[in-house]
Chain A
């Protein structure tokens, strides 16, 4: 009998009960909660007279609606304010631990989970948020769910799940200088497509993935959903174990060693069989820039905007024409000729300390270009912000003309006041370039933190390796 994949090991370890048709009741170890997708679930509990099964497995934080400036002044928008105070009230009523807006540990839910050691290797992790796949980077089975499932997990600590297919994405070889985890995952999505991972759990493997830091692996797993896969994961290695040595909610002392022993088993067996294997040559990956309105619409920085006339599939060609029109771009334009108006460095994809260090390194001693009206850095959490300030990164950003903001989701999806105006073009380290994602009529180009910072200085996209 063939060995097990990491996904199968994680899934099997959490099966409470299995029906004849393969539908399993899967136990959920960690449930992250934010203000946008939880109010209807709490309300559902209330209406049915139910209590959360295990509040100790939950951690809540407001992140989508929170302001990134003048936080002491509270939330100006009354609708956003109501949503955040609803979370506060629900957490109080049901006894759920919350890091409220004023807490030093507040931040983007997927940044604070691992940062606190609340999400751990070997755990099942869910959140009413598609970027929950981030936590797969630490060898967890982590995926996003809808609000009905949020309520289901609250009430039962389980989910009804069927095993998905498994895909291994192997990236082999040494990444070139200036090529980051973000470029790797954009290149993967460009190759397999935005639905390439639908119905699969992806395991990222190969020497290029192994060489990434835990934070880099998080950037990769974060965007699994942009390839259609609900879950992405990376096997546990010593980097993973070491990452959790000093985290507040992680086990300590003997219990840590016992946990680490188990965590080290969390890798696919050598003879495990995946339903699909995709391989990329890491040495050939270049810094990436998205040009369209789907994350699969991505090219290397030195390429040109693709031409729909060269696309044989008529549905795809039509999608490309729609995208070019929305983006205000002509086919065959060199990517480096595209001028930008705003720069956003942040989001659950790229707002960890290493991301900020990379961006700061690309701008040190230089200044944001005149045509860039706003360049902002939004740290992923209060602790990331504090660490960056200890290292003096805030000064580098401020001296370069960037704004240094408070933590939250911010302009990744513009639920707070941070947004693009119609027609504005943004170099963004976030994860989605959908129409209107960063503000109605806004135009998003997805890039790495270093590429975003370099673009801020140049006023247009540049190859960070030559910047």
Chain B
């Protein structure tokens, strides 16, 4: 996983609440069996005027000039700014892959849906929850100064604006550690393999009906 320590980049204002994962990456693109290539179709229904299908050359499609990510300089943004409950709906990790493939390293919003929030950390995308009035202040700052860059400092848990404003954010200490180090969860967990086996052995006594396969006693 790509590590995250500090990042400075342009902020794209997506002034909507309840941005769902169907909007971030529509269903037809979920047919891919890969983790990459979702960037050109991120926010497909809002970004293009013509319908999109997998396998198309998306650079040839008609872009919606009113959509923020089609506008200079937001097409080069690496930080996405949105309203409450970002990432609600489906569990599709493709939504996170679409954002990272577009080039985003962080999303700032007043709140996030749980599954999207979890998925972000597995892919080096930092979801930052700020207070509603802070998010509002950043929306206003970006409106006054499009192309404004924010600096995100994960070790110190702070977002810095060019005017000197600083926004502190909370993050779970274990998740922060994994993100800064770019750690692979699975390898970490497998260090506890003996504990997992011991748990299974104990549970086979307590709830044997959940372990038919391990007991070699199917249907018992």
Could you list which residues of chain A lie within 8 angstroms of chain B, going by C-beta atoms?
16-17, 19, 21, 23, 25, 27, 29-30, 36-37, 39-40, 43, 48, 50, 53-57, 64-65, 77, 79-80, 82-83, 86, 120, 122-123, 128-130, 132, 144-149, 151-152, 155-158, 160, 162, 164, 194-195, 198-199, 225, 228-230, 250-252, 255-256, 258-259, 262, 294, 315-316, 318-319, 322, 413-415, 432, 434-437, 440
Contacts and interface: CB of A to CB of B under 8 A. Distances in A.
5 contacts: A56-B214, A82-B33, A130-B91, A149-B119, A198-B112
A434 B23 contact: yes
Contact of B213 (A54, A148, A164, A437): A54
Interface residues of B, number: 64
B58 interface: no
A393 B37 CA distance: 45
Interface of B: 15-18, 20, 22-23, 26-28, 30-35, 45, 51, 54-55, 83-85, 88-94, 96, 111-115, 118-119, 122-123, 172-174, 185-186, 189-190, 192-193, 195-196, 199-200, 203, 206-210, 212-214, 219-220
Contacts, number: 200
B182 to A, nearest CB: 14
Residue of B17, B115, B206 with most partner-chain A CB within 10 A:
B115
B89 A198 contact: no
Contacts of B34: 39-40
Residue of B23, B89, B90 with most partner-chain A CB within 10 A:
B90
Contacts of A48: 186
Residue of A23, A145, A146, A255 with most partner-chain B CB within 10 A:
A146
Contact of B91 (A16, A86, A145, A415): A145
Contacts of B219: 252
Contacts of B85: 194-195, 198, 228
B199 A255 contact: no
**Those 7 A-B pairs whose CB atoms lie nearest each other, nearest first:** A56-B213, A148-B122, A146-B119, A39-B33, A146-B93, A251-B209, A144-B91
Residue of B17, B123, B220 with most partner-chain A CB within 10 A:
B17
Contact of A79 (B31, B119, B206): B31
B90 A130 contact: yes
Contacts of B35: 40, 43, 147
A259 B173 contact: no
Given A130-B89, A160-B185, A436-B26, A17 B33 contact: no
Contact of B20 (A25, A149, A315, A434): A434
A258 B206 CA distance: 10
Contacts of A56: 212-214
B45 A255 contact: no
B99 to A, nearest CB: 13
A198 B113 contact: yes
A16 B199 CA distance: 6
Contact of B172 (A37, A158, A162, A256): A162
Given A25-B189, A432-B22, A120 B114 contact: no
Nearest to B95: A146
Contacts of A437: 22, 27
A23 B55 CA distance: 41
Contacts of B123: 148
A157 B196 contact: yes
A86 B33 contact: yes
Nearest to A58: B213
Contact of A25 (B18, B172, B192): B192
Contacts of B174: 19, 21, 23, 160
Contacts of B32: 79, 83
Given A146-B96, A146-B119, A228 B88 contact: yes
Contact of A17 (B18, B55, B96, B195): B195
A152 B189 contact: yes
B114 A435 contact: no
Contacts of B112: 198
A160 B115 CA distance: 13
A92 to B, nearest CB: 15
A86 B185 CA distance: 25
A440 B196 contact: no
A39 B219 CA distance: 29
Contact of A436 (B45, B185, B196, B212): B45
A79 B54 contact: yes
Contacts of B195: 16-17, 25
Residue of B22, B114, B207 with most partner-chain A CB within 10 A:
B114
A146 B18 contact: no
A25 B84 contact: no
